[in-house]
Amino acid sequence: MEELLDILKDMKPGVQFENEANLIDDGILDSLDVMNLSVILNDEYDIEITPLDIIPENFKSIESIYALITRLQED
Amino acid sequence: MKNILEYLEYSTELYKDKIAFTDEENELSYRKCLNDSKRIGTYLLKLNKKRKPIAVLMDKNVESLTCFFGIVYSGNFYVVIDSKMPQDRIQKIFETLEPIALITDHKYEELATSLHQHVCIYEDMMSTSINEEKLQMIRNQMIDTDPLYALFTSGSTGIPKGVVISHRNVITYANWFVNTFDINNHTQFGSQTPFYFSMSVSDVFSTILTGATLHILPKKLFSFPVKLFEYMNKKKVNTIYWVPSALCIIANLKVLDYVDLPYLEKVLFAGEVMPTKQLNYWIKKKPHLMYANLFGPTETTDICTYYIVDRAFKDDESLPIGKACQNCDVFLLDENNQEVLDQSEGELCVRGSFLAMGYYNNLLKTKEAFIQNPLNHSYPEMIYRTGDLVKYNDRGELIYITRKDFQIKHMGYRIELGEIETAVSSLEKIQSSVVIYDRKQDKIVLIYVGKISEEDIMKGISQKIPQYMYPQIFIKTRNLPYNQNGKIDRKWLNDHYLELKEKK
């Protein structure tokens, strides 16, 4: 989770990701951010996020992103 | 026809309650669109001004379209303001533009009131009764060279320039667009580009020319491509005209491996260079569609040349920009203002009815870019110098080389940064890339996103470009900066690329 937080802060400096539960609805992550983040996560965690995983529910908070990574690593 | 509203009225007569525009929440039939526009037009008559700018600050929705047409009904012209734009920039635009009023809706009322003293609220204007007689009086006074809208583009000095486009410009341009791409009353556009960007003009006006339907695609869906495709399929979208960045999102994530777009027939793109690798993904998945590369600046309404993809291209080949649009002429000038007639490179120049009227309240910049045709000494004839370097290939197609400003002199060689970009972006692991030139250090800088090492990039491009073109500084980053139109922000990168370097 620490590492993921670093990645997110690197991408969007100044955002308190720990306290955000609505990253998408609040407009903190826009369309290109979600795309970029998926590419980075694939790279860093050696997973394959497919378009089917790219839905708002999986990106709404740092916890949900972490859960997505964990699930894909187990697959 | 001489006024764009005549097309709206004509299509309304033919198609009546057919849906003209939709967004996520609402839809607008031709009849309702026309009536709402007339209400707004009637309301604005009390301003008692002609050919003056009226700004619109609203989200990209169907209501904003009726505001644009309503402003035209009132005898004035519209200027779309991006609600996400920094206030500072809006103020700069207003200093140049001096709009006589600002239209907004309840959502942006507060922001609008802080920007302008004369704010008109959409919801209030809707209760106006239409005054056909007065609207007709205004119409009778209008001619086809009157301004229809102005679009603000970023100027190199930091002061935005407002390109003034007339009814004549859009009518000539949209007729070419409609004829070339066979836009008709069966067309269902999936609109991606913002209304403050010239590309949207093609979708919007070819819709009202032909009685087609335009679906505004919710911006947030571009984050979630499967949902985007489901939305497009629900609306039966068959024609898209997007920026390459949006098409690349689909290709990079291989979305078409998972969901199909069964209704899609035409894929048009413009605004920046379409990387061939990503286009090839689309063609592989959807081989029977029409793909077309459109090219041009806002100053020629939207486009001046185009190429319909008619053969296969390798990932490291770039697409031609083709030939001049119908009723638009292009030619190449060399550094001495002589016409280039062989295959050497020259600056692309445009003449004809696509040419904008100039920059609003900026005679100086207008005179720099819109000049007397240096090949014509016999009568006044304006041409527009695009600042783009191009050349003809063996097939007689125009090939885009680079912006004049992007051509650099490095170690005695003349180098096109675009050529390096094409080589890099053809590599399999590269997601996106941009090459800039650090003038102070005399270094070529490659900034890229992708799971690939510097060594592998060098190995890959050494087959494609000569040594003197090799990038000397590599910046692997997690996110490239994009400007408000969704294009890579090269201007920002020039001074700030070091900030992107990953902290390890």
**Domain assignment of residue B73, yes or no:** yes
DSSP-derived letter for residue B42 is H
Rounded distance between C-alpha atoms, residue B200 and residue B65, angstroms: 11
Q: Which of B349, B376, B403 is the C-terminal boundary of a domain?
A: B403
Rounded distance between C-alpha atoms, residue A46 and residue A44, angstroms: 6
Q: Which of B224, B225, B478 sits opposite A40 (nearest CB)?
A: B478
What is chain B's mean pLDDT, rounded?
93
B-chain residue closest to A57, CA distance: B224
Q: Which of B352, B369, B403 is the C-terminal boundary of a domain?
A: B403
Q: Which of B5-14, B155-164, B429-438 has the lowest mean pLDDT?
A: B155-164
Region B397-414: what's the mean pLDDT? 84
SS3 state at B86: coil
Tens of pLDDT, residue by residue over B216-267, are 999 889 889 999 999 999 999 999 999 998 898 899 889 999 999 999 999 9
Question: Are B422 and B376 within one domain?
Answer: no
Question: Are B350 and B216 within one domain?
Answer: yes
Burial of A18 (0-12, 13-18, 19+ CB in 10 A): exposed
Contact B115, B82 (CB under 8 A): no
Give the residue numbers in B contacting A (CB under 8 Å), as ranges. 219-227, 245, 249, 252-255, 257-259, 431, 449-451, 478-479, 482, 486, 502-503
Query: CA of A10 to nearest chain B CA: how many angstroms apart?
Result: 8
Query: CA of A50 to nearest chain B CA: how many angstroms apart?
Result: 7
Question: Are B270 and B358 within one domain?
Answer: yes
> Residue B451 and residue A31: Cβ atoms within 8 Å?
no
Contact A44, A8 (CB under 8 A): no
Question: Are B77 and B180 within one domain?
Answer: no
Region A60-72: what's the mean pLDDT? 94
A64 and chain B in contact, CB less than 8 A: no
B412 pLDDT tier (thresholds 50, 70, 90)? confident
* Total structural domains within chain B: 3
**Domain assignment of residue B158, yes or no:** no
Q: Three-state SS string across B332-395, please?
A: EECCCCCECCCCCCEEEEEEECCCCCEECCCHHHHHHHEEECCCCCCCCCEEEEEEEEEEECCC
Contact B18, B107 (CB under 8 A): no
**Domain assignment of residue B16, yes or no:** no
**Domain assignment of residue B159, yes or no:** no
Tens of pLDDT, residue by residue over A13-63, are 778 888 888 888 888 887 778 887 888 888 889 898 999 999 989 999 999
B504 pLDDT tier (thresholds 50, 70, 90)? very low
- Locate tokens 């050494």: which residue? B462
Q: Chain B residues with CB inside 8 Å of A8's CB?
A: none
Question: Are B183 and B138 within one domain?
Answer: no
Q: Which of B450, B478, B486 sits opposite A11 (nearest CB)?
A: B478
Return residues 21-40 of A near B (CB < 8 Å).
24, 29-36, 38-40
- Locate tokens 């191009």: which residue? B390
Taking 50 as the threshold, does the pLDDT of residue B147 lie above it?
yes
Containing domain of residue B268, as a range? 166-403
> Residue A39 and residue B431: Cβ atoms within 8 Å?
yes
Q: Which of B373, B403, B433 is the C-terminal boundary of a domain?
A: B403
- Give the residue with greater pLDDT, B401 vs B123: B123
Query: CA of B140 to nearest chain A CA: how many angstroms apart?
Result: 45
**Domain assignment of residue B81, yes or no:** yes
What is the phi-psi region of residue B130: left when phi exceeds 0, alpha when psi lies from -120 to 50, beta otherwise?
beta
Region B54-79: what's the mean pLDDT? 98
Taking 80 as the threshold, does the pLDDT of residue B302 lie above it?
yes
Q: Where are the domains of chain A?
A: 2-12+22-74
Rounded distance between C-alpha atoms, residue A17 and residue A5, angstroms: 7
**What string of DSSP letters covers B274-321?**
PPHHHHHHHHHHSTTSEEEEEE--GGGTT-SEEEE--S---TTSPPP-
> Residue A35 and residue B227: Cβ atoms within 8 Å?
no
What pLDDT sits at residue A71? 94
Region B212-216: what's the mean pLDDT? 98
Q: Three-state SS string across B147-180, please?
A: EEEEEEECCCCCCCEEEEEEHHHHHHHHHHHHHH
Tens of pLDDT, residue by residue over B440-494, are 888 899 999 888 999 999 999 988 888 888 999 999 888 788 876 667 888 888 8
B30 pLDDT tier (thresholds 50, 70, 90)? very high
**Domain assignment of residue B149, yes or no:** no
**Domain assignment of residue B157, yes or no:** no
**Domain assignment of residue B148, yes or no:** no
- The CATH number corresponding to A2-12+22-74 among 1.20.120, 1.10.150, 2.60.40, 1.10.1200 equals 1.10.1200
For the whole model, what pTM was predicted?
Answer: 0.88
CATH number at residue B89: 3.40.50.980
CATH number at residue B227: 3.40.50.12780
> Residue B223 and residue A38: Cβ atoms within 8 Å?
no
Name the percent of chain B lying above pLDDT 70: 98
Q: Which of A10, A32, A51 sits opposite B503 (nearest CB)?
A: A10
Rounded distance between C-alpha atoms, residue A52 and residue B224, angstroms: 9
B157 pLDDT tier (thresholds 50, 70, 90)? low
* Interface confidence (ipTM) of the complex: 0.82
What pLDDT sits at residue B51? 98
CATH number at residue B455: 3.30.300.30
What backbone torsions phi and psi does residue B165 show, to the nearest 5 degrees?
A: -115, 135
Region B169-183: what's the mean pLDDT? 98
Question: Are B350 and B416 within one domain?
Answer: no
Q: Chain A residues with CB inside 8 Å of B478's CB?
A: 7, 10-11, 36, 40
Tens of pLDDT, residue by residue over B371-384, are 999 999 999 999 99
Question: Are B286 and B267 within one domain?
Answer: yes
